[in-house]
Amino acid sequence: MTLFWTAGAALAAVALLLLLRPLLFSRAGQALSRRDANVSIHRDQLRELEADLAAGKIAQADYERARAELEARLLEDVAVPDEAPARRGTRGMAIGLAAAVPVVAVLVYVAIGSPAALSPQADPHASVGAEQIEAMVERLAAKMRENPEDADGWKLLGRSYSVLGRFTEAADAYAKAAVRAPRDAQLLADFADALAMARGQSLEGEPEKLVHRALEIDPSNMKALALAGTIEFNRRQFAAAAGYWKRMLPHVEPGTEDARIIQSNIDEALQMAGSPVPAEKALQGTVSLSAKVKDKAAPDDTVFIYARAAEGPQMPLAVQRVKVRDLPAKFSLNDAMAMAPGMSISAHPRVVVTARISKSGQAAPQPGDLHGASKPVANDATGVSVIIDSLVR
């Protein structure tokens, strides 16, 4: 089923673009500068699918399902604009950018039928026009009229309408899905977004109720938390907005751009609330590479710098990444980099800082990696020195 995993990964990238528009509440433009490239990619995938069928690697049923999925993904790819304009007043909406990507990727497995929008005999230079895109959506809509109990199908239709900017129809499709899957928190968050767009870009009223219902079902749903924070921010309830956004931090990878954006918006909300932004404690120091093992490391090798509890669970509490060429490098580890709820540096008075050069680029230790560790230090110590001087065997 390699094809399905490949399709899911490709859809995840597209979903990032889809999420930026609703979270910023800006209308999608019509320019599709990457359309031809997307069409070409999908044709290549279809040729691979045809070859797998001919070689007997996949069954006819799997072929039909994958072909339908390619059609649905092509609809999304050619409909997504290159860039959605953001407004400063709605900057908080962007902090949930990647929240729903795994859910969107899973939906690529929904079988919507077997009409062939792509064909191996098609002109390789042909472009997909607006009429073809609309036809794809209408075929899906027809499928749903034939099979109205398919909640996943309604979700896919809602997302397709949203891509086309047809938010009233998107909200209607999401409403039908919600009747059949009332405990789907991500669906309720998407429904709230589409309904808000259909009602003049306002989250007040029913969209807000949907957001809070989603959070009752899944208190950690990223999109619902982002929207709930935006609702409070728009009401000038800045402390409450910061509270929702703080709940997002444990669910993003520490040190990433997403984590920095979320923290920046929290700080902004607290400042507007008149609350001082707390000076966050940080564990600070320097990592260097011993001359005796220097020849075993390449400049582009990844260096993982992480803190663990001196006594207790050995799960990393915070992680920072640099390259060997950056050594010696300063590090600063804090609670914003927590790897899991409750597993923060401040929760453990004494910690050990370890630095490991990964030859494979993987987080898990491998034979041939280089490492070094500090002695146990206070969780807010400064001037900690870590020397990488040993070989992992």
The answer on 329 and 249 residing in a single domain is: no
For 384, the 3-state DSSP assignment is strand
Indicate which CATH number applies to the domain containing 374. Answer: 2.60.40
**β-pairing verdict for 302-309 and 318-323:** antiparallel
Last residue within a domain, chosen from 216, 240, 272:
272
The answer on 287 and 246 residing in a single domain is: no
Q: How many domains does the chain have?
A: 2
Domain-located, residue 92: yes
Radius of gyration of the chain from its Cα atoms, rounded to whole angstroms: 24
Domain membership of residue 225 as a residue range: 2-272
**Tokens read off for 386:** 């870590």
303 vs 365: CA distance, rounded Å: 11
Contact 136, 159 (CB under 8 A): no
Residue 6, beta-bridge partner list: none
The answer on 145 and 170 residing in a single domain is: yes
The answer on 308 and 163 residing in a single domain is: no
Indicate which CATH number applies to the domain containing 262. Answer: 1.25.40.10
Tens of pLDDT, residue by residue, the chain (393 residues): 444 434 444 444 444 444 444 444 443 333 334 445 555 565 666 667 677 777 776 777 666 667 666 666 555 554 444 433 333 334 444 444 444 343 333 333 333 343 333 333 444 444 455 677 788 888 889 999 999 999 999 999 998 888 888 999 999 999 999 999 999 999 999 999 999 999 888 899 999 999 999 999 999 999 999 999 999 999 989 999 999 999 998 888 877 888 888 988 898 888 888 866 566 678 999 999 999 999 999 999 999 999 999 988 888 888 898 999 999 999 999 887 776 666 788 888 999 999 999 988 887 888 889 999 999 999 999 999 999 999 988
Find the Cα–Cα–Cα–Cα dihedral 149, 155, 160, 165, rounded to 10°. 110
Last residue within a domain, chosen from 272, 294, 329:
272
The answer on 366 and 245 residing in a single domain is: no
Domain-located, residue 95: yes
Cut 0.75: pTM above it: no
142 vs 136: CA distance, rounded Å: 10
Find the Cα–Cα–Cα–Cα dihedral 111, 4, 135, 82, rounded to 10°. 140
Domain-located, residue 278: no
Contact 308, 354 (CB under 8 A): yes
The answer on 105 and 24 residing in a single domain is: yes
